[in-house]
A and B are shown apart, each in its own frame.
Chain A
Amino acid sequence: MTVADVAPRGAVPAVGQDVACTHCGLPVPRGLVVPDAEQQFCCAGCQTAFEIIHGHGLDGYYAITERRDGPVAATGRTFDEFDHPTFRQMYVRPAGDGLAQVDLYLEGVHCGACLWLVERVPLIVPGVARAELNMRRSLARVVWDDAAVPLSRVARTLDSLGYHPHPFRGLAVETMRRREDRAMLARIGIAGAIAANVMLAALALYSGQLGGMEGPYERFFRWVSLVLTTPALFWPGRVFFAGAWASVRTRTLHMDVPIALALAVGWLRGTWNTVTDTGPIYFDGLATLTFALLAGRFLQQRGQRAAADSAELLYSLSPSTARVVDGSATREVPAQALLPGMVLDVRAGETFAADGIIASGRSAVDVALLTGESRPVSVEVGDRVYAGTLNVSSAVQVRVDGTGEQSRLAKILQQVDESTRRRAPVVQLANRLAGWFVAAVLLIAAATVLYWYPRDPASAIDNAIALLVVTCPCALALATPLAVSMAIGRAARTGILIKGGDVLERLANPGTLLLDKTGTITEARVVLSHWSGADWIKPLVMALEQESSHPIAAGFRRAFEGVEVMEPSLTTHVVGGGIDGMVEGWHVVVGSPAYVEARACRRPGVVMPPSYLTPILVAVDGTIVAAAGFGDPVRTDARASIDTLRSRGWTVRIVSGDHPTVVAGVGESLGLPAADCVGGATPEDKRRLVDQARQRGNVVMVGDGVNDAAAIAAASVGIGVHGGAEACLATADVYLARPGLAPLVALTEGASRTMAVIRRNIAFSIGYNVIGATLAVTGVINPLIAAILMPVSSLTVVLASWSSTTFHADRAV
């Protein structure tokens, strides 16, 4: 059997007819059609796959046609919004030669074949000059002729290839970062090249001092060192002088002051000694110092970049699409492409993708993300809703007026971004120490000069320089942020995203650990394990539960799969209660016993579930007709993790909105005393518990839901777990990207190890400086030895931070 027999779509195409890929059956883009070929392929991946399958004589695979019904990854959207003037204004920039340029974030980029495919877009779409993809960041830069082809056409092509394009939002930040990175890299390169060459000259000089060297040669190498070092100080080293000048102007003593002073004094003295041909030159030390400090700063910047990237993760967690109402139909549109004036359809349990005014419907909105208030606020036509807030109770339509960076959510995310840059108190401590330290060093240097000058003028200057060089506090100010950013970077690789360095400090000391039950301790896989009621009730329950995002609703949907679905009307959701609505003329209430029993009575023949299950009652027209019981399996690693944490001195408590008996049952299985298992807690209760515990010390709140958001925000450290709600993740200080509680153990262990490293670094650099300063002031060491000792101390501390095992992947199960 040949391929053409079973895949007629792959046969030689007639003109104007769509050609289907022999392997996957998707249409082959016109630019990739090979004329007169029997087999046509939409991408290199398909061709390779076909060759492997064909080569093994497995062509029968292509006879299985069902496979082809669903492989289409394209959304088939029109992307009309890409041609909108507002869109152009926000994302499109001129690229010269009358061309326009846009950066698109592509979904689904994963391998080299994707790169090949995306960069063939100019072949497929005439009018596109270039398409360049950055693999790691999935960013494609498209340069195209605006007059020849609309951007929506390009977007549709990318979409048809299976890469859904979204406009890239953080363009301004990106450009700034890139400029910074390039400048820093150039500086490091120059400083490194100079340092290496000055070192070569220094090697000649040192061996000359040992083995004897003729005067002219020695003088020559001294001049070579001077000529080489001077540009290193005035180009790459300029940042230190600029920093010192800023520090002097703002009257805050900064690390850069002694560095700049040492560089300047060392250079002046070295130049003087070179010209007069007397005494030591310090150029090798100065050049190496410049290089080492710049490299250290670059590493530090990279660490902070990693934190900023995790803030970008929040961008991707904010809703990515919205349903735009277009006449009578609705269509999905990425949130970034929303424009003022569009009308959105937002169902209960969904997050608003843009700021806007309610155009129709009434509902309750959870604004915990914005205000920290956990109680839903009711809204009706004319009220304002904000992007990122949760529509709790029923479907509404919203007229968009603020999108993208104008939305309130974007402003909050900017604050999140800022908080990622906020420094750990311990880093600030190091900076404060450095300030005092600098003042002390400057005073001692002045005293040294005053003391030695009457006795020995030449050694007065030498000793002062030795002091300035040897006490350079870079070990102090470099190693601490380095240790923090290394820990954050390593943690990120093990699936623990930490948004600020201060978190580590607060996690290092045991305190109270409050755990949410559902989704945190348990798997949040709600399983229906008890049902007492007639089958005719099931469709009524499904009608109410089909649109809810509550885990119980998901449990019903899984259990009642295949049950006929009816349209409900007038549905109301009550957080912590249940759902109320009309289905085919029946008044149906599904919810917790307290909620349902307040609205219905009499329960003929309905058997309540056993107490360890979460009970849900169903009432129809005021009569309780069914009872369901949901169980939620405890995570396998929960017991071991909680035991470890308790043995480390943490007080572990469970707070849950679930029924107290359920919570007590879970607590018992985990070996927790009943007093530490709080059930039936409302979001307000959770927050109050956090506030109470805070009076006794550190409180860590771990949760996953919107109902935990307020408690997470109030805690000393808020931790959001894998699969949590957006609001909760946005307020959390730490996000655990892996399921289970084991990462929690790794996090606390890693935090205390990081703090140990920092304390060790600070102790080492203070001890080193005290000894070094004593030796320098008394004239025991000359500036040359000081210049050698200084980088050695920094290097020791840097290596200590580097090699310390704060977080490691293998330990994290």
Chain B
Amino acid sequence: MSVIFLVVPLATLIVLVAVIGFVISVRRGQFDDLDTPALRVLHDDDTPKHDGARRSTR
């Protein structure tokens, strides 16, 4: 059972990574508009320059 001393901190670390990921995605505005990206993904990727992938990160 002493493995729990290792596993719980590890799990906490994973949670920390997830939380950091979430905060970063919120700050980049990924939750600002929940309707449009669902449609955008359906479009063919025929844009010649791909700087559209670099989203604004204000």
| Contacting pair A112 B39 (CB below 8 A) | yes
Q: Is the interface of A mostly helix, strand, loop or mixed?
A: helix
Q: Separation in Å of the B35 CB from the closest CB of chain A?
A: 5
**Which residue of A129, A134, A185, A220 contacts B4 across the interface (Cβ within 8 Å)?**
A220
Supposing A186-B27, A224-B8, A228-B12 touch, asked if A135 and B18 sit within 8 A by C-beta, the answer is: no
Q: Which residue of B lies closest to A196 (CB)?
A: B15
Q: Given A190-B19, A193-B18, are A123 and B32 also a contact pair (CB < 8 Å)?
A: no
Taking the closest CB of chain B, its distance from the CB of A126, in whole angstroms, is: 11
Known: A122-B47, A130-B51. A186 touches B33 (CB 8 A): no
**Alpha-carbon separation in the docked complex, A559 to B46 (Å):** 54
Contact across chains for B36 and A133 when beta carbons are under 8 A apart: yes
Given A115-B36, A116-B43, A224-B8, A178 and B29 contact (CB-CB distance below 8 Å): yes
Whether, in the assembled complex, A436 has its beta carbon less than 8 Å from a beta carbon of chain B, the answer is: no
Given the interface contacts A135-B36, A197-B15, does A186 sit within 8 Å of B23 by beta carbon?
A: yes
Q: Are A178 and B12 in contact (CB under 8 A)?
A: no
A115 CA to B29 CA in the complex, in Å?
A: 19
Query: In the bound complex, what is the Cα–Cα distance between A615 and B18 (angstroms)?
Result: 74
Tell me if A217 is interfacial: C-beta within 8 Å of chain B. Answer: yes
Residue pair A224, B12 in contact (C-beta under 8 Å): yes
Among candidates B32, B51, B52, residue contacting A178 with C-beta atoms closer than 8 Å: B32
Closest B-chain residue to A224, C-beta based?
Answer: B8
B interface residues, tally (CB under 8 Å):
29
- Contact between A134 and B52, CB atoms less than 8 A apart: no
In the assembly, what is the distance between CA of A220 and CA of B11, in Å? 14
Residues of A within 8 A of B23 (CB): 186, 189-190
Pair A182/B26 contact, Cβ less than 8 Å? yes
From 36 to 58 in chain B, residues with beta carbon under 8 angstroms from any chain A beta carbon are 36, 39-40, 42-43, 47-49, 51-52, 56
Q: Are A189's CB and B27's CB within 8 A?
A: no
**Chain A 172-194 residues near chain B, CB threshold 8 A:** 178, 181-182, 185-186, 189-190, 193
Min C-beta distance of B51 to chain A, whole Å: 7
Determine if A130 and B52 form an interchain contact, defined as CB atoms under 8 angstroms apart: yes
Residues of chain A lying within 8 A (CB to CB) of residue B56 = 95, 141
Instruction: For A227, list chain B residues within 8 Å (CB).
Output: 12
Q: Which of A119, A134, A182, A189 contacts B19 (CB 8 A)?
A: A189
A217 contacts B1, CB within 8 Å?
A: yes
For B26, give its contact among A115, A116, A123, A189 (CB under 8 Å). Answer: A189
Given that A130-B51, A189-B19, A224-B12 are contacting pairs, would A136 and B43 also be in contact in the complex, using a CB cutoff of 8 Å? no
Q: In the complex, what distance in Å separates the CA atom of A228 from the CA atom of B43? A: 43
A116 to B36, CA, bound (A): 10
Tell me the minimal C-beta distance from B58 to chain A in angstroms. Answer: 9
Query: Which listed residue, A130, A134, A190, A193, touches B36 by the CB 8 Å rule?
Result: A134
- Find the residue from A119, A141, A201 having the highest chain B CB count within 10 A: A119
Q: How far is B36's CA from A220's CA once the two chains are assembled, in angstroms?
A: 46
Residues of chain A within 8 A of B22, CB atoms compared? 186, 189-190, 193
Sorting the interface of chain A by its residue count into under 10, 10 to 19, 20 to 34 or 35 or more gives 20 to 34
Question: Do B40 and A115 touch (CB < 8 A)?
Answer: yes
> How many angstroms between the C-alpha atoms of A141 and B32 in the bound complex?
14
Which of A134, A185, A228 is B33 in contact with, Cβ under 8 Å?
A134
> Using Cβ atoms and an 8 Å threshold, which residues of chain B touch A190?
19, 22-23
A106-122 Cβ-contact flags toward B at 8 Å (1 or 0): 00000010011001001
List A residues 605-644 near B (Cβ within 8 Å). none
Contacts of A135 in B (CB 8 A): 33, 35-36, 39
When distances are taken between beta carbons in the complex, the residues of chain A under 8 Å from B39 are: 112, 115, 135
A328 → B minimal CB distance (Å)? 44
A592 to B33, CA, bound (A): 54
B36 touches A129 (CB 8 A): no
Residues of B within 8 A of A220 (CB): 4-5, 8
* A182-B31 in contact (CB<8A): yes
A185 CB contacts on chain B under 8 angstroms: 26, 31
| Residues of chain A within 8 A of B18, CB atoms compared | 193
Tell me which residues from 142 to 196 in chain A have a Cβ below 8 Å from any Cβ of chain B: 178, 181-182, 185-186, 189-190, 193
Interface centre among A134, A182, A217 (most CB of B within 10 A): A182
Closest chain A residue, CB of each to CB of B9:
A224
Nearest-neighbour CB distance to chain A for B15, whole angstroms, equals 6
Contacts of A201 in B (CB 8 A): 8
CB distance from B3 to the nearest CB of A (A): 11
> Which residues on the B side are within 8 Å of A221 (C-beta)?
8
Q: In chain A between 202 and 221, which residues have their CB closer than 8 angstroms to a CB of chain B? A: 217, 220-221
Report B14 CB to chain A, min CB distance, Å.
10
CA distance A129 to B52 in the complex (A): 8
Q: 27 A-B pairs, CB-CB below 8 angstroms?
A: A115-B36, A115-B43, A116-B43, A119-B40, A119-B43, A129-B51, A130-B51, A132-B52, A134-B36, A135-B33, A135-B39, A136-B35, A178-B29, A178-B32, A181-B32, A182-B27, A186-B22, A190-B19, A190-B22, A190-B23, A193-B18, A193-B22, A197-B11, A201-B8, A217-B1, A220-B5, A224-B12
Chain B residues at the A interface, C-beta cutoff of 8 Å: 1, 4-5, 8, 11-12, 15, 18-19, 22-23, 26-27, 29, 31-33, 35-36, 39-40, 42-43, 47-49, 51-52, 56
Q: What 10 A-B pairs come out closest when comparing CB atoms?
A: A112-B39, A135-B36, A186-B26, A189-B22, A136-B35, A134-B33, A186-B23, A193-B19, A135-B35, A185-B26
